[in-house]
Structure 1
């Protein structure tokens, strides 16, 4: 009787760690491309690969060579096509590192209580401005970024570079202001720019009542390490967008906690 090689059934701790790491990688990739056009692009590429195998199996040499040339530049095409997703993936990894996750403890050791108190003072004018705009049903889009990307924002914005102020925010979004269309970008504890044109989300599963303001807020949270506060012009309701997901009907208490955590 012939002996069989069962080496492939051997299982070690390294194999378990390998499987866990692959599962985590797949989860991260899925969470980043979920509800985006990237899913359809991956599906299209998968169909092309299946078609290529079928054509190759039928010995259709001419068509096989054409598809083979297309696949040969696939890595470069993937980098170009999935540039926003790759950017988000790297930002997500950097934001999830040990130092970032434990910055509260590091800050505590070096006396961050004063910084937290200062942070609340900086958030207060934003909360007060949102209260006023909610009451008057003034549409607003306020984006908070940890790293101000000059290439992304400067070319489509009016530079402000001013201290955060309730009155300034209200005057920018006032309906007759020339800057009220677009978003205000806050970074480095300053109002950096206003009237910014932001990329819209590709998510086609959003509620139909979402207008350009909501789609732009969700879009910037998908493509950059940013969060967005949206005040609806129709209802006055406040929404909070982060990592492509949006939380509706946010109370001012919740908004303060979210901004204190993320901003």
Structure 2
């Protein structure tokens, strides 16, 4: 029977399984899982499902000897590989950037947790003040992936992060208020930067340009974006294409700490429980 071609080799494989084979399987499983984490909730997720269906159909057409269908599918796969590289370039770039960010050795000049906590404290206090005054703001924290192309669209500052400076930047009708502030390590590297807008068509219509820009930059890099709405005063955070809205002070500090401080200690900021949070997926 045709299924003997699958059953007997499978039984033979199980009976002759070695330690190296198990290690091989675990490595493939881990890599597959990490790749799935990178592409889930993106266009590439639907692409993988489509490829899986085509591969299954291709094998079935060979077994059932459907020669015309098999020929069409084989040619579709050949042409499709080129189309995938062109159409899904952003997703492929994201995967390669993730691989490039993986470190075997920690940087010797890594910022201390205390310095990063000071940056978070100053930023939180600035956002709370802007929120009370209903002044819009957009702040981007650069992480492992460099965003020099974004920084070059704004005005270079190279200033120490302080609540007074952040508040002053976003005061309406000032030269730098329109655009995003980019924070690199412990410095405000630039202000009035232009960000790419999200490509998500299902986003809530009530969200304005700031929120769409905050999501857009997190879809193209690993940075974190912080938004203050001038209409509602709500403070939101965008991470990996997801928007977390209406954060209170404790929740805001907690999310910034978790995502910006390496080897984060939950006691560093002495946070209390609570904090309303709505999540909008990109």
Match of 1:86 among 92, 98, 106: 92
- Counterpart of 2:123? 126
Provide the rounded CA distance (Å) in 1 between the counterparts of 2:174 and 2:54: 51
What root-mean-square deviation, in Å, do the aligned CA atoms of Structure 1 and Structure 2 show?
3.6
3-state SS in 2 of match to 1:168: helix
Deviation at 1:72, TM superposition (A): 4.2
Match of 1:135 among 109, 132, 136: 132
- Counterpart of 2:38? 32
Deviation at 1:129, TM superposition (A): 1.0
- Counterpart of 1:255? 252
1:161 has 2:167 as partner:
no
Cα 1:168–1:46 shift into 2, 3 Å: same
More displaced 10-residue stretch of structure 1: 36-45 or 251-260 = 36-45
More displaced 10-residue stretch of structure 1: 139-148 or 175-184 = 175-184
Provide the rounded CA distance (Å) in 1 between the counterparts of 2:228 and 2:87: 32
- Counterpart of 1:150? 148
Q: Deviations over 1:31-89 (max 9, x none)?
A: 222222223444566677789897x955499x959x83x75465554444333323333
Q: Aligned pair count?
A: 247
More displaced 10-residue stretch of structure 1: 219-228 or 76-85 = 76-85
Q: Deviations over 1:168-191 (max 9, x none)?
A: 222222222343332111113221
Equivalent runs, 1:104-123 vs 2, <5 Å = 115-123=112-120
- Counterpart of 1:220? 217
Q: Deviations over 1:152-174 (max 9, x none)?
A: 431x3233332223232222222
Cα 1:204–1:12 shift into 2, 3 Å: farther
* TM-score under structure 1 length normalisation: 0.74
Provide the rounded CA distance (Å) in 1 between the counterparts of 2:185 and 2:173: 28
Deviation at 1:244, TM superposition (A): 2.0
Segments of 5+ residues of structure 2 without an aligned counterpart are 1-7, 261-282
Deviation at 1:142, TM superposition (A): 0.5
The answer as to whether partners of 1:218 and 1:246 remain within 8 angstroms in 2 is: yes
Deviation at 1:201, TM superposition (A): 2.5
* TM-score under structure 2 length normalisation: 0.69
More displaced 10-residue stretch of structure 1: 26-35 or 76-85 = 76-85
Higher RCO (C-alpha under 8 Å, 6+ residues apart): 1
Deviation at 1:134, TM superposition (A): 0.8
